[in-house]
A and B are shown apart, each in its own frame.
Chain A
Amino acid sequence: MEFRCGFIFFVLICSSVAFQSDELLVDDDEFEGTQQIQYIDAAHTRSTPPPSRPTSTRRRFSDPDSDSKVQFQLEHSFGDSDFAPTGLFTARLKTSSHGGQSLTKLRFSRNAFTEEDRKKFTTLLQEDGFYSVRLATNVLKSTGESYVYSSVKARCLPRVELDEHFVIHMDGVNILAVNYGTPGACPFPRQLKLPSKWSFNSLTFLKSGEQAPRTPVLADDILVGETGEGEGVKPPEKSFWAKYWMYLIPLGLIVMNAITQAMNMAEEQVSGQAAGQAQPQQSAAAIQRGPGSSAVRRR
């Protein structure tokens, strides 16, 4: 009982220890090249209250001081409806030494749903429809004739708030793809759930592809490579016992066997001619020997 109580206590401690905050640590500085995936920039945004005048056109900073800043618009659609602007991405355009351009320091301001949007979204939730977002492919060109878009089942978004997650795949200044979804799980069948707060909790990432690892060039090992079975490093020198234990053990067994046999012989001679007695004695000896060695052959 004591042990069990202790166990439960331990488990409780463990569970409290195992709790990990799911809060995302927002870092204002760019953290490039972390982990395997190259996140150029990540941001965590909460939606702003709906603006009194919704921005209808793509705006751009025109003053010459901040010409390296770009803005591009996020547009959304409910099911089949047309796309309408709903947020603004801001990023800094970085020109690298060899002429390539890339975006860093992505910021995102998300407009919360208007009353009309809420209605549309609620119907979308009821019919388990798609909520889509889109971005123009080139962030520099204002003429957005080509778009990339992504959709998610609307029922995946609502938790306490509307949780969303953007990954924008970039190649230079071209947006290849936008991946939109929920940061958490969304298993099928999806339950109908309305958010308690109609505000967005957005996570945004900029991501560019990674470089393939270079093919190793091992000029010395080519011959080894042909056979496929490389020698590698030599294993460290083993002790005498480690090397020859497989020979030593049978040897030991045989020696033990021989000794017991010799002892038996002696006993038999002592017991003399009594045939009636010899039998049980012998079997007893066999039992005695039994666990010691299985290799002993019965005479």
Chain B
Amino acid sequence: MVLAIKVSFLLLFTLFASFANYGFSIYEDQVGLMDWRQQYLGKVKHALFHSSKSGRKRVVVSTEENVIASLDLRHGEIFWRHVFGPNDSIDGMEFVLGKYVVSLSSEGSFLRAWNLPDGQMVWESFLQGTNPSKSLLLVPRSLKANQETVILVFSKSCLHAVSSLDGEVIWKIDLRENSVEIQKIIQLHDSDIIYAVGFSSPTQLDLFQINVKSGELLRHQTATFSGGFSGELVSVSDDVLVTLDTARSNLVIINLKNGEIRILQSPIASLIDEIAGSMEIVPSKLSGLLAVKVNSLLTLVRVKGEGEVEVEVVDKIPGQATVSDALLVSESQHAAALAQHEGSYMHLTVKLIDDWSSNFIDENIVIDNQRGSVQKVFLNSYIRTDRSHGFRALLVMEDHSLLLVQQGEIVWSREDGLASIVNVVTCELPVEKKGVSIAKVENNLIEWLQGHLLKLKGTLMIASPEDVVAIQNMRLKTSDKSKMSRDHNGFRKLLIVLTKSGKLFALHSGDGRVIWSRLLQPFHKSEACAPRWLNIYQWQDPHHRAMDENPSVLVVGRCGQRMDGPGLLSFVDTYTGREISSSSQIHSVVKVIPLPFTDSTEQRLHILIDAENHAHLYPQTSEAISILQSEFSNIYWYSVEADSGIIKGHALKRKCVDVVDNYCFESNDVWLIMLPPESEKIIATATRNLNEVVHTQAKVVADQDVMYKYISKNLLFLATVAPKSSGEIGTTTPEDSWLVVYLIDIVNGRVLHRMTHHGSTGPVHAVFSENWVVYHYFNLKAHRYEMSVVEIYDQSRADNIDVWKLIIGKHNLTSPISSYSRRDILAKSQSYFFTHSVKAISVTSTTKGITSKQLLIGTINDQILALDKRYLDPRRSINPSQAEREEGVIPLTDSLPIIPQTYATHALQVEGLRGIVTIPAKLESTTLAFAYGVDLFFTRITPSRTYDSLTEDFSYALLLITIVALVIAIIATWVLSERKELQDKWK
């Protein structure tokens, strides 16, 4: 028997080992069962409608997430989409030749043409210039139809003419002379002459006349204006430009008629009743009209530059209002759309520019309050069935969502704010109420049996293609992954997501649908403070006490870009999306520290550090104070000043003296580490995830020996590089570059480990878990990316393996661990080559920490590779002993394997990947992984396969049938044997 067990164990082990490499791989028909992906664009910057021709109506948009995409105008679906790199922001976009859309990006470096129907890149040209400057794109109207159009690009102080057919640069003029900053490029009345207008000094205007065909500089004129220029230069009509003078009290009107510069001015006081107030020109293209913002009141002004200055106020729009660019409706008739808020309605009007009093359309549209105000309007016209003009408008809202409005209704909407996620927390769903049966009983037994028969067919591989489709549908339908209640395995969660626009979304982990969304109030409609969203924290997570309370999250923000700007706090209920409370204009917030203590209502204590290094305790209750008092001397934190290379440790000292605030505490600096700024520059830090669970402190190594992991939550990983090589890869020689990694205990500032990689450089991506840290960097000597692992072990406990000591009680296993006790550590390290560069790196986490770990590596092609941690083991050697092999040590290789089956994203891409979050499910074997970037992706990962549960498609019918068959067989054989025995006895 014992032998048999051994045999089966061996078999199991070999099975395990053979599967270990493919720990995550899934079958083709499992795609979409437990993973989902959503595609987004980001906040729209430019939109071009392509609806004049027959065929599919579409709109091409470019966004702040550097995405260019073509959307279906009817449904808002993506036809095609391209995500540019993070530094490749789009400056302009135009149609050419009626079949291409050209995009200018990277501060005017790249001009690319995309084929409209399918989004194929037709050509790309790299434009070289001299000085950085504004980048402008202009497609001049050609005099004759079917003529090859040129694209004019002003970038890096040079004006380029690019052929629209193949992207060849036809000519190029350097306009750097006289240090003119070109502001506008205009074409006058369909002529061959292009005007480039700019300022060479605050009071001097420069005008260049250039022939489009030859690229010849015809004339260079200058004009001076004593009042000076300031602000944006806006073209009101073909030959009239408007800007403000330096005092911001006069409108400066520049008339370029017949190629001559005439500068006129008109006092603002004549336009507005109250004199005091700031004035701003709203950049827009309204042929004939000028939009200005006076005291945040949108005012439309008609400017006629002919002869004498003629400035007249056309309209003053109260409240939040936005105006679109002018749209040519018919011969010499331009229309513009105006969107303004009136209560819960959005008022959209389309008016003729020449006759502002009449309305083309005047609609009230109900828009969800949580979308905020309208940021941008793009207008498009169409011919109605009764041959009149119809209009549709594309609205970009405050929460970055995109709406298409037509005939007073929202035709479609896209939640494009989700393309710019700041951070994610998860929250459990509510427990199912008693009385409601959890298991939805199948409609009837026959259907259930039929379903299982189909599944059985599938497993026995005798299903026809139609059956396979039916099975797939059934799986998708019957899986209760999108229910709104907690499940036994903990797969269903709410993902609370904070976006850059300050909107919170609750996404269901089953299918990624939005449960609720909320635009946070203190940031909304505040004039004094431009909010910047920092982070989101779990505030209240009731599970033992206070079960009736709903969980809530804390969102922390800051006014403006400065570190000492006033802080903003908001507490949001995660089930309803209701804002429980909020406080704005509080002390500044530099760092938020969630403490490992909760009060009686399960609110987690948080300490917010302000710019003066004062600590503020939240929640502000006396109970919280008493909890804090008992742990007062055990709270430490650190700060990293990357510019000066200083890492500091802080501890709480006493109550604030100068401020009367019970919840304010002073801190003192406990330790300081200073890295020499001439040789080291901090580029990356990593800490352990606070709620990570470690199953065992001991690690049994091959020769029956035990190593104790050095497990401390107070460890900081720090990577520095030589200041010379902190730029891009390839700017320095290997001799001049090095990478130093540190492991620092943040309680007492002890440097546990310091290691130098010579000839290596950043960027460094690191992940810290249990007692190991894995980091990714570039090795200049080997010209390859590398990944290194450092594992730290506690040597002072190493002699506990002595049995006699255990018997006598001399061991220190039960002694409390303190950072002030000096523990000897042993650090083991090993480096491996890795083919890809990395965008993000993360590690799986499970409830109890028993399951082996996988690294989730966001690769350069926006996929997530699940790499077993065993590959990054410092104990790997070329010839591991038999005992080590059994333990699972893989023979040493110089590079880490990339096994295509282990891509967690299988065939999908998570475009613009920025972060990967792992959440433990209740089932020990399973980790939930959520990746965000421009796209969102969610999946379940089982690093050691699902050893603790049957798969969802397990055929219970087969099991039942087998059991029934066995029982029948037993009864039959029993009856037969009885009968035979009886016959034998009668013989």
Q: Which residues of A contact B (CB under 8 A)?
A: 11, 14-15, 18, 36, 80, 128, 130, 132, 137, 146-153, 156, 165, 167, 169, 171-172, 174, 176-177, 179-188, 207-218, 221-222, 224-230, 232-233, 235, 245-246, 249, 275, 294
The residues of A that contact B816 with a CB separation of less than 8 Å are 187-188
Which residues of the partner chain A approach B899 to less than 8 Å between Cβ atoms? 228
Task: Kindly state whether residue B668 has any CB partner on chain A within 8 Å.
Answer: yes
Interface pair B755/A209, CB less than 8 Å apart:
yes
Q: Which residue of A177, A226, A233 is within 8 Å of B751 (Cβ)? A: A177
Q: How far is the CA of A233 from the CA of B891 in the complex (A)?
A: 11
For B790, give the chain A residue with the smallest CB separation: A212
- Contact check, A18 vs B805: say whether CB atoms are below 8 A apart: yes
Q: Does B756 contact A (CB under 8 A)?
A: yes
Q: A218-B894, A226-B897 are in contact. Are A187 and B815 (CB under 8 A)?
A: yes
Which residue of the partner chain A has the closest CB to B739? A212
User: How far, in whole Å, are A276 and B676 apart by their CA atoms in the complex?
Assistant: 101
Q: Fill in one digit per residue for B611-640: 1 if any A CB lies within 8 Å of its CB, else 0.
A: 000000000000000000000011000000
- Chain A residues with Cβ under 8 A from B672's Cβ? 147-150
For B817, B871, B878, which residue has the most chain A Cβ atoms within 10 angstroms? B878
Residue contact A156 to B820, C-beta cutoff 8 Å = yes
Known pairs A171-B680, A185-B822 / 15 extra A-B pairs, C-beta < 8 Å: A14-B804, A18-B805, A152-B820, A172-B679, A176-B673, A176-B675, A177-B751, A216-B878, A218-B892, A225-B895, A225-B897, A228-B890, A229-B21, A235-B882, A294-B1
Pick the interface stretch among B505-513, B585-593, B824-832: B824-832
B754 to A169, Cβ gap below 8 A? yes
B218 within 8 A of A: no
In the complex the two chains form, is B782's CB within 8 Å of A215's CB? yes
Which partner residue on chain A sits nearest B757 by CB separation?
A: A212
Q: Mark B780-819, 1 if CB is under 8 A from A, else 0.
A: 0010001010000000000000101101101010011110
Residues of chain B within 8 A (CB-CB) of A215 are 779, 782, 786, 831-833, 894
A-chain residues with CB within 8 Å of residue B1 when the two chains form the complex: 294
Q: Enumerate chain A residues within 8 angstroms of B875, measured Cβ to Cβ.
A: none
Closest to B871 in A: A228
- How far is A111 from B833 in the complex, measured between Cα atoms in Å? 52
> Are A174 and B788 touching (Cβ within 8 A)?
no
- A228 to B750 Cα, complex, angstroms: 38
* Inter-chain contacts of A147 with B (CB < 8 A): 672, 674
A176 touches B748 (CB 8 A): no
Give A35 to B733 CA distance when docked, in angstroms: 32
Question: What are 5 sample pairs from A and B whose C-beta atoms fall under 8 A apart?
Answer: A171-B680, A182-B822, A207-B754, A217-B782, A228-B871
User: Given the interface contacts A176-B673, A230-B891, does A181 sit within 8 Å of B754 by beta carbon?
Assistant: no
Q: Is the CB of B674 within 8 A of A146?
A: yes
Q: How far is the CA of A184 from the CA of B673 in the complex (A)?
A: 23
Does any Cβ of A come within 8 Å of B821's Cβ?
yes
- Considering the complex, give the chain A residue whose CB is closest to the CB of B824: A37
User: Please, which residue of chain A has its CB at the minimum distance from the CB of B633?
Assistant: A128
Find the A residue at minimum CB distance from B741. A212
Closest residue on chain A to residue B895 by CB atoms = A225
Q: Which of B710-760 contact A (CB under 8 A)?
A: 740-741, 748-751, 754-758
| Residues of A with C-beta under 8 A to B805 | 18
Residues of A within 8 A of B895 (CB): 222, 225
Beta-carbon contact of A210 and B754 below 8 Å: yes
Contact residues in A for B758 (Cβ distance below 8 Å): 211-212
Contact of B755 (CB < 8 Å), options: A167, A169, A211, A218: A211
Q: Determine whether the beta carbon of B894 is less than 8 Å from that of A181.
A: no
Min Cβ gap A255→B in Å is: 17
A48→B818 CA distance, assembly (Å): 30
Contacts of A180 in B (CB 8 A): 748
In the complex, what residues of A have CB within 8 A of residue B651's CB? 130
| B893→A209 contact, CB < 8 A | no
A232 to B893, CA, bound (A): 11
- Are A188 and B634 within 8 A (Cβ)? yes
Q: Which residues of A contact B820 (CB under 8 A)?
A: 152-153, 156, 181-182, 186
B675 x A225 contact (CB < 8 A): no
Q: Which residues of B sit under 8 angstroms from A14, Cβ to Cβ?
A: 804, 808
CB pair A130–B673 under 8 Å, yes or no, is no
Are B751 and A214 within 8 A (Cβ)? no
User: In this assembly, does B849 line the interface, its C-beta being within 8 Å of a C-beta of chain A?
Assistant: no
Are B830 and A233 in contact, CB atoms less than 8 angstroms apart?
no
**Once bound together, how far apart are the Cα atoms of A225 and B7, in whole Å?**
29
In contact, A184 and B822 (Cβ under 8 angstroms): yes
Bound form: Cα–Cα A228–B899 in Å: 9
Q: Which of A176, A185, A225, A249 contacts B821 (CB 8 A)?
A: A185
Within 8 A of A (CB), among B860-919: 871, 878-880, 882, 885, 890-895, 897, 899
> Which chain B residues lie closer than 8 Å to A146 at the CB level?
674
CB neighbours (8 Å) of B959 from chain A are none
Q: How far is the CA of A75 from the CA of B183 in the complex (A)?
A: 60
Would you give the shortest CB distance from B898 to chain A, in whole angstroms?
9
User: Taking each of A80, A185, A218, A249, which has the highest tally of chain B beta carbons within 10 Å of its own beta carbon?
Assistant: A185
B779 in contact with A213 (CB, 8 Å): no
Residues of chain A lying within 8 A (CB to CB) of residue B7: 246
Distance between B280 CB and nearest chain A CB, rounded to angstroms: 46
Contact partner, A36, options B675, B680, B818, B826, Cβ 8 Å: B826
Contact yes or no, B804 A130, CB < 8 A:
no
Min distance, Cβ B713 to any Cβ of chain A, angstroms: 15
**A18, B811: Cα distance in complex, Å:** 12
The answer to whether B671 touches A151, judged by C-beta atoms less than 8 angstroms apart, is: yes
Say if the beta carbon of B985 comes within 8 Å of chain A.
yes
Q: A152-B820, A226-B897, A228-B871 are in contact. Are A181 and B633 (CB under 8 A)?
A: no
Asked whether A80 and B668 contact (CB < 8 A) given A186-B820, A188-B818, the answer is yes
Residues 656 to 672 of chain B near chain A (Cβ within 8 Å): 668-672
By the criterion CB–CB under 8 Å, are A179 and B674 in contact? Answer: no
Q: Is B3 among interface residues, defined by CB-CB distance under 8 A?
A: yes
Residue of B nearest to A165 (CB): B822
Q: Please pick, from A18, A174, A187, the residue contacting B818 in the complex, using a CB distance under 8 A.
A: A187
Residues of B within 8 A of A207 (CB): 751, 754
* B754 close to A212 (CB less than 8 A): no
Contacts of A211 in B (CB 8 A): 755-756, 758
A285 to B869, CA, bound (A): 57
Q: How far does the alpha carbon of A183 sit from the alpha carbon of B796 in the complex, in Å?
A: 12
Give min CB distance, B862 to chain A, whole Å. Answer: 23
Nearest CB of A to B373, in Å: 50
Q: Is the CB of B894 within 8 A of A221?
A: yes
**Residue among B668, B669, B748 with most chain A CB within 10 A:** B748
Quick check: A227 and B891 within 8 Å, CB to CB? no
Does the CB pair A181–B786 fall under 8 Å?
no
Q: Which 4 A-B pairs have the closest CB atoms?
A: A225-B893, A209-B754, A230-B891, A186-B820
Chain B, 645-656, contact with A by CB distance < 8 Å: what is the 0/1 string?
Answer: 000000100000
A148–B672 CA distance with the chains assembled, in angstroms: 5
- Shortest Cβ gap from A246 to chain B (Å): 6
A149 to B748, CA, bound (A): 10
Q: Are B756 and A209 in contact (CB under 8 A)?
A: yes
A174 to B633, CA, bound (A): 32
Most A-side CB within 10 Å, residue of B754, B788, B899: B754
Least Cβ–Cβ distance between B761 and chain A, in angstroms: 13
Collect the chain B residues with CB atoms within 8 Å of residue A174's CB.
Answer: 676, 679
Point out the residues of chain B lying under 8 angstroms from A218, CB to CB. 878, 892-894
In the complex, the answer to whether B829 meets A213 with C-beta atoms within 8 Å is: yes
**Inter-subunit contact B671/A150 (CB<8 Å):** yes
Let me know if B750 and A210 touch, CB within 8 A: no
- A229 neighbours in B (Cβ, 8 Å): 21, 890
- The listed residue (A80, A177, A179, A221) touching B893 by CB distance below 8 A is A221
Residues of A contacting B675 in the complex (Cβ-Cβ under 8 angstroms)? 171, 176
Q: Which residue of B lies closest to A190 (CB)?
A: B820
CB distance from A78 to the nearest CB of B (A): 12
Contacts of A294 in B (CB 8 A): 1
Tell me which residues across on chain A come within 8 A of B674, comparing CB atoms.
137, 146-148, 176-177
- Provide the residues of chain A in CB contact with B822, threshold 8 Å: 165, 181-185
Q: B821–A187 contact, CB under 8 A? A: yes
